Amino acid sequence: MVSRRKSDLLSSLPDCLLVTIISFLPFKQSVQTSVLDKRWKNICRETTSLVFKESEFVNLSADTETIKSERALFVSTMRQWISSFNGQVIENLEFYLSEPVSFEKEIISLTEFAASKQIKNVAIDFSSPASRKIEVVEHLVTLMHYQNTEFDITRIFFNLTHVRNLTICSFLIQMIQDCEDPMELHDAMEARHLVMKTNLHAKEFIGITIFLNSCQELESLTFDMDTTERILRISFPLDPKTFWLTNGTYECLERTLKVVKIKNFRGGSNELHVLKYLIRRGLVMERLDLYEAKGLDEDQKRLVVTAAEEVQKNVERGSKHLRITLHKA
């Protein structure tokens, strides 16, 4: 009786409230509501937040063929959903897929959809779950595929130039370096807030500078340190210290970038090279927030403190208004 009463109460709500409620549901549950009746089918396609997560469809502990089948179903369901979407406003779009190989057309289709709806908050994440071990053969297949295909990663960002809040993964940071004329992402991006899920590995450095160059109005930059992500690129080694000491500046560093954050800060040498560069070059920076990684032992915590003191005391600052803060876990 209580369940029936709650159901009747929910059905009595106006469409605008139901759309808001459905916008908070996981994508798979949102799809399931569409079979309730015609009203729900229409309402669920007016959601203002779209979050496509592979994990809702794919059991990554299953055998290879099952994973491929479930992943294909997930991508197909996503594409069917956006092709029949009849809502007017989408505030948020997130797409999580651990293996983008062979789904290039669907990915481009998704970014074209984002462009057509002028979505301002977008996250694209091709990271592998921390619980999933990447086999060497799979790693090489992915690498060979993207280094030999004509698929241009910059096409993704061409469709996202209007996005104001953008989250990208290490995969994209690495692979964009292999595109034709990568320092020019077609048009300047309008991103004001950029989150990079990264290892700050040397093979990501050029990709990081590509986005600094393209996001000319950037106001905040977050490095979300993801130590589980694979390093895909095979390239000539570069010296991190030399790279950041000799790297030039960018428009956002001189005019707009005020806040930099590092999440899961461990005080590693590459983190320090990047931070010192930003401190020197950031002429209008106001805040540098270092968030200590969780689960560190005492020696690791001391390294974090030492690294924070290094950038606080021994680096010449481009901005006299910069405040550097270490946030303990």
String of DSSP letters for 56-100: GT--TTS-HHHHHHHHHHHHHHHHHHHHT---S---EEEEE-S--
CATH of the domain at 13: 1.20.1280
Q: Do 111 and 158 have their domain in common?
A: yes
Q: Is the pLDDT of residue 76 over 80?
A: yes
Q: pLDDT of 273-310, one tens digit each? A: 999 999 999 999 999 999 999 999 999 999 999 999 99
Confidence of residue 47 (pLDDT cuts 50, 70, 90): confident
Contact call for residues 122 and 114 (beta carbons, < 8 A): yes
pLDDT at 144: 45
Q: pLDDT of 87-115, one tens digit each? A: 777 889 999 998 887 888 899 999 999 99
Pairing, β 287-292 against β 121-125: unpaired
Rounded Cα gap, residues 270 and 244, in angstroms:
10
The model scores a pTM over 0.85:
no
Q: Do 9 and 97 have their domain in common?
A: no
Q: Do 205 and 248 have their domain in common?
A: yes
**Domains: count for the chain:** 2
Q: Do 42 and 56 have their domain in common?
A: no
Contact call for residues 272 and 310 (beta carbons, < 8 A): yes
Rounded Cα gap, residues 193 and 183, in angstroms:
19
Q: With pLDDT > 70 as the criterion, what percentage of the chain qualifies?
A: 73
Q: Do 179 and 70 have their domain in common?
A: yes
Cβ neighbours of residue 278 closer than 8 Å, sequence gap 6 or more: 221, 253, 257, 260, 285, 288
